[in-house]
Structure 1
Amino acid sequence: MPNGELDRLQAVHRFLNLEIDKDKNLQEIVELASELCETPIALITLIDKGVPYFKFKTEAVIKQEMEIDTFCMHLDKHDQLVIVSDVLFDHRFANNAYVTGKPYIRFYAGIPLTTHDGHKLGSLCVMDTLPKRLSEAQKHLLKILSKRIVQIMEFEFSLYILKKQYIQARDAEVKLRSFFESGGSCHLLIGKDLGVITFNKNMSDFIERIYQIKLHTGIKVNQVLSGMGLNHFVDECKMALEGTPISYEREIAYPNETIWWHITFDPGYNEDNEIIGISFNAYDITERKLHEQQIISQNDSLKKIAHIQSHELRRPVASILGFMELFKLNDYQASCEELKMMEISTKELDQTIRNIVNFTD
């Protein structure tokens, strides 16, 4: 077995055997991918020795037992998003059992899940029983979601190692730092006295940029935050210290920028299962939120256009067609009054078309 494949399999096993605390987050990502791409099926798969393991899914008809020629296996040679608008016209998929039989897949889009060190763990994919295409916004969103999945999995593994080894031996900090610094998120470990135990560079850079304060071990939370922000933070720390994990998404406006955060407060335990601190983690999800809002805005525009087409557009068209039938009966002779009424209908039709164009701009 090539060394590269052995390394990849070790990476896959690392995440297959990991009890991920953020299962709900990954399931929500699968459901979000399904909703935003308007497909009934979405999957997160990890591939181990040619066998796909479906960790999260939206469609019950997709079973664990699939042959090696399954869809996601074809992503192995690709680094980017793969889209097949109609699988019946693609030799790689046309004879697949899930194309020729239930659920009769016709559309497929998949993107590899690639770790920061280049290992392909599996894929995020969406499928439909009808041929279709994805918009540029939907394609971009799939790419963002695939990165988010890897971030969560890598961070969960990093945090798992961090918590275990930090509790067992403080002198393991150098080794743990390589995991703690992985990804682009802000991480902070806080003691029961709300003093900072350790933090990553992203957190240090953020605090210095926003609050002009340099983080250091031992600094208290109230030396950084103030007002309502401090009150909320302390309340959430107290809940975590009582054993209640907290997770939410929030938009926060700072003096010179606004950021959407996915924030978690997790209790930190020692080997005797006693809570000794808090793991605070903040992920910047601004880009995903902006694209979600863009998709929602586009959908609203489409609904308005559909309403105009089904209601406002029919009336002037019906009127014009009625006048044409009347003109035919009169050997294409029309009175001045009839022509004026037809002119009104024509102007109404023109304005309705202008309204549709405005919605699409």
Structure 2
Amino acid sequence: MQAADLPDNEAQRLMALHALQVLDTPIDDAFERITQLAQALFDVPIALVSLVDHERQWFKSHSGLEICETSREVSFCAHAIAHDAPLIIENTLNDERFADNPLVTSPPHIRFYAGYPLRPADDLPVGTLSLIDSQPRHFSQRERHLLQTLANQVEELLRQHQMRQLLAQTTRRYEALLNESATGIIRIDCTGQVLGINHFAQTMLGYSDHEVVGQNVSILTPAAISSRHNSFISNYLEGGEPKVIGRGREVEARHKAGHMIPVHLAINAIHNEQGEVVEFLGILTNLTEVYAATERMHKEQSLLKVLHQGITDYQALMSGEQLWTFLMEALRELTDSDYTLIGEVLPTDTTNALKIHAITDLSWSDESRHLMEQLRSGNMVLTNPNSLLGRVYAYGDVIITDNVSQHSKRGGFPPGHPKLDNYLGVPIFSGNNLIGMYAIANSKQPLNQALLDWLQPFTDTCALLINLYRQMAEREQVTRDLAAARDQAETANKAKSEFLSSMSHELRTPLNAIIGFAQLLAKGRRDPLSSKQQRQVGQIEKSGQHLLSLINEVLDLARIEAGHMTLSMEPILIENVLDDACSTLEANIDAAGITLTRAHLSSPWQVIADYTRTKQVLLNLLSNAIKYNREHGTIHIGIEQLGDELRIGITDSGCGIAPARHHELFEPFNRLDAEYGTIEGTGIGLAITRELVERMQGRIGVESQPGQGATFWFTLPITEQAIAPGQLSSEPGNSDSESGQVSYQLLYIEDNPTNQRLMEDIIDDFDKVQLQTVASAELGLDIMRHSPPDLVLMDIHLPGMSGYQALDAVQQDPKLQHLKVIALSANAMKRDQQYGLAAGFADYLTKPIDIEKLTATLNRFLKLAPGEES
């Protein structure tokens, strides 16, 4: 036996079969008559309408055969489906495909088979009309044609069956839509008569079916338009512009009881096959809950608006004394009330009293008007606990009544008092404390628990605002106290600044002599020192410089804390700063036997920073890496880009730091117990470094583990701005010398004898500079007037006339205005230098004297040729 092959379009064929909805349906007389006719017409014992399913063949009609289906594997019809063509087998025993088929070798012992494909839709074969005989026979061409004709009739029956099924489904859907829909549906004929109304519409409008069907639909419309309703239909039928038909709109429908119900109405015209309007279908959606929800939403929005404005505009409302009036009017609108009040509860020795902050005007006479003014101003409080108000503010009770005149606690109203119908009094609690109340009267809304619950956010907001109001006086007092504390802090800060300035001056004056003479002794060429003396002098200078650096760090920290640290933010090349810092510490690195390496820069990175302060950051971190390194250790400077930042890391090979103590590193004066060791320092270098980095919009941090060294890193913002040309320029040269001048006169005004001798020893190395020293500004001015010098060096703190007063005298004297006066002072704070330059000093040098800087300054102002200072 050979089973039939599956056709290429098997999936589509099965879909077409199932769409007929005919499988496993009851016996149908029309199909039975076709197969009986086929039996008689062809004189065969069996005639079938066979439908080939996925794994079976099912017989819609099986005249002469008791079974109603077989497996597809033994099906003859499956072969006709596979080839999509008529299948005629005149003797099955002579056909190897069927000779051993169970239907051939066993009952019904098929010897003859003729099957014609059935294609009721999309030309897809779903089955066959089949003829079966137990004897072989010849099948003529005429018989073939007759079989095709009968098959066409079966196809039509299948199509009609499908249409009946679809129509039945449509009918069921329509009936469900009409009768079970949660929307009102009304059928109307072309004269406006109601043909049908579904249950939902009956319930919505209060009618029964027999009360509406047969009546004109105008009974369901508002009286204002019921008389014109029929004209709407006739106008549409005559081709007029539709107003409702074919469009949706919100209208009102009339309930049987007479009240109106908001609905959304959509009317559709139903046409027959000729395109004529035969009836109308009205769809009504009840909008009652939607309208109610919208109203609730508007109320909620109004409430939220009040709460939001009361909180966010509290300061403005309170400053304008409008807060309580605003809340009172909002409460009146929210509750549709004629009268409202809001008050604050004031505890007394006996019972609570009520201070009214806002109240609707209830005055009806001059006397009552005066009383209202007293209540509003807060000059009068209410104390009677046994009144409608008193029960609320004295005991915290909620009072609700719809009949004020009959309430036991109403009290008496004087003649002329406005009539009060209903009343609601609500206490305002903050925790367990009764702090206020509000009341409404003559409300258009029902006064009940639902209203109280809805007003709860308003009540809570009033509690918050009363607490804020109570805190106003306290806050004002705190503000006054803070102002006094601020003034005291500013005074203390000023005193601290003056102390630091004084300390700086007093410490720098002796350091000037210590460092200056040490430098002179070390550089002396006329009386050179021995090696031992050189070491001793070097130690003196080193200790002096260390003390000077400690002073500078303390002053830097003080300036940062006081907010007086100014930065000059500009594009700088990070490589230039690194070169500068490494060059400055080159001798220290060599002396410590440390190997310094730097990462190769892939590009000339530019950052936005203060050049001097960036160098200071690098010097601080590199100095620490030198001090806390191991013997013959290493330092590596790494640079990498992190987004829009440049990260500079200083990695040493020292003993490392425990992560638990990393946060202590940047605390001022915290040296992590290093103060007990041999390494010198104040413990504020990293604190200053962090402040400088953060003020330059950077970040700083540390990565370290004990025994693995440490990496201190910081970031600066990257920029692509052009580098200012002036950044690359050097100090003005000294090439513009006047070789013809024999000598220069330098006047030095200084009252300290030690500093005088130091300056004399320094100038002694300048062959073409003659120094004249005086101890007061007055004497210096006399010398300037009688024998003007080429340059003046002047201390600021002098006996009698100060340096600034002397400078002013020089600037006011036309004969002396050309003189260049350089300040040389122990006042070394940044503001001192800025003030000095602004006052008119040509330059501002600080003590202790930096001999190299002094030399460069003298070269610049006296225009000495190279070598003339030696």
Q: TM-score range by the shorter chain?
A: 0.3 to 0.5
TM-score norm. by structure 1 comes to 0.44
Higher relative contact order (CA 8 A, sep 6+): 1
Which structure dedicates a bigger proportion of its chain to helix?
1
Q: TM-score, normalised by structure 2?
A: 0.19
